[in-house]
Structure 1
Amino acid sequence: MDTQLFISVLVTLFVIMDPPGTVPLFLSLTADMTSKLRNRSALQALAVAAGVITAFAVFGQNILSYMHISLAALQGAGGLLLILIALQLLTGTNNGTENANRYKNVAFVPLGTPLMAGPGAIVAVMVFAQQADSPARVAAVIAGVLLTFISLYLAMRFASLIQKILGEDGVELVTRIAGLLLSAIAVQMIADSVQDFVGTWS
């Protein structure tokens, strides 16, 4: 397995999906549920997110080819998108719980998508899927995605306990650090995109 790619996938998806940051959102969206229903909602949300991300990872190349979009363009667009998400994390302007009551099943919307399988995660997985050009790199991408989803499930499964341990200030701190890391990853993606474009021009 490509260890470097695995770490890159894990860190990128972890800071985008932000398992600790899902704790307050998950608790607020499932506040009226019993413990059993809350656990079922967590599993449903993960299934929805996994399905969406897998679909884009598998068919993303076909979509790009059909629309004549290069990997460099995708990386640049993804970097810009991740910067917007990072700014939300850094400034605390995430409104994921807004109008949540209008959804019949919060596990599908907004938990599964767009909170987990949002545009940032989708773009990141598509980019990593393009880089998986060998069995070792494919294994690295799959392992990174799976470990991120396991982290998300554990965060939701033990949301009440995590919030008690970290406290509101602790969750806020983790969210801000995730935003900082994500902004650095976004800038690197844009830089790589520019470098690829310049290479095609020379």
Structure 2
Amino acid sequence: MLESVFSPILFATAFTTILVIQDPLGAVPIFLSLTSRQEPAARRRSAFQATLVSFWVILVFALFGRYILQFLGISVPALQISGGLLLLLVALELLTDGEDEADPSSSSANAALVPLGTPLLAGPGAIVAAMVAVESAATPVVGWVTVALALLATHLIVWASLRYSVVLHQVLGETAIRVLTRILGLLLAAIAVQMMGDGLVSFIKTSFL
């Protein structure tokens, strides 16, 4: 009965991919910069708000992405290929020094929502990954339920990283965070190549065979 609404394999894939794309540890320095002038209570509130915005933005696209694709006449393999290319670009940014610089003078909660909540956390890469995960499910219900749970799990980790960002930054340090970000970038690059390969095989089968 559970298998009719939930896929453990899809959950693991979606959870890993989206978490790597969002890179919670990499967002810690940016979050601290954006909230540098806030009191601890305000910083905790900003962490919750940024996480909530990211969750809802990605969830909306995951739920209604199928209808957007149908309206535009885009096939799932085409989405997989283009999504893989986009994820590869995100991975290259993680592997290099292409991080977005935050404005230290921004101290309001709105600064934590934009650009942190979106587009840094809920960016094109995470949105496309969620849409691809839903479309790759056996049924729409399985895709919606599984990806929604995966998004909930990833955003709990994102919230915890932002909530305890001061402690994480002190314990890990800037160098360790950068090293972990590079490792996540390498993993994301492999995921992107696999996604493009699967999409290309499916595209050829549906178009020429």
TM class by shorter chain equals over 0.9
The residue aligned with 1:191 is: 197
The residue aligned with 2:3 is: none
Equivalent residue of 1:39, what SS?
helix
Cα gap change, 1:51 to 1:92, in 2 (>3 Å): same
TM-fit CA distance, 1:102: 10
TM-fit CA distance, 1:170: 0.9
Cα gap change, 1:187 to 1:98, in 2 (>3 Å): farther
| Unaligned segments of structure 1, at least 5 residues | none
The residue aligned with 1:85 is: 90
Match of 2:112 among 104, 107, 113: 107
TM norm structure 2: 0.90
The residue aligned with 1:32 is: 37
Equivalent residue of 2:110, what SS?
coil
- Tell me if structure 2 keeps the 8 A contact 1:57–1:129: yes
Match of 1:55 among 39, 43, 60: 60
Equivalent residue of 1:106, what SS?
helix
TM-fit CA distance, 1:101: 4.0
TM-fit CA distance, 1:78: 0.7
TM-fit CA distance, 1:126: 0.6
- Tell me if structure 1 keeps the 8 A contact 2:34–2:103: no
Cα gap change, 1:76 to 1:134, in 2 (>3 Å): closer
- Tell me if structure 2 keeps the 8 A contact 1:6–1:141: yes
- Tell me if structure 2 keeps the 8 A contact 1:100–1:110: no
Q: Deviations over 1:46-86 (max 9, x none)?
A: 12112211211111111101110011111111111111110
Structure 2 residue identity aligned to 1:182: L
- Tell me if structure 1 keeps the 8 A contact 2:83–2:129: yes
Counterpart mapping for 1:1-202 below 5 A: 1-97=6-102, 101=106, 105-132=110-137, 133=139, 137-200=143-206, 201-202=208-209
Cα distance in 1 for partners of 2:191, 2:95 equals: 14
Question: Once superposed, what is the RMSD of the aligned Cα atoms?
Answer: 1.9
Between stretches 133-142 and 186-195, larger displacement belongs to: 133-142
Cα gap change, 1:48 to 1:134, in 2 (>3 Å): closer
TM norm structure 1: 0.93
Cα gap change, 1:155 to 1:116, in 2 (>3 Å): same
Aligned length: 202
- Identity across aligned pairs (percent)? 44
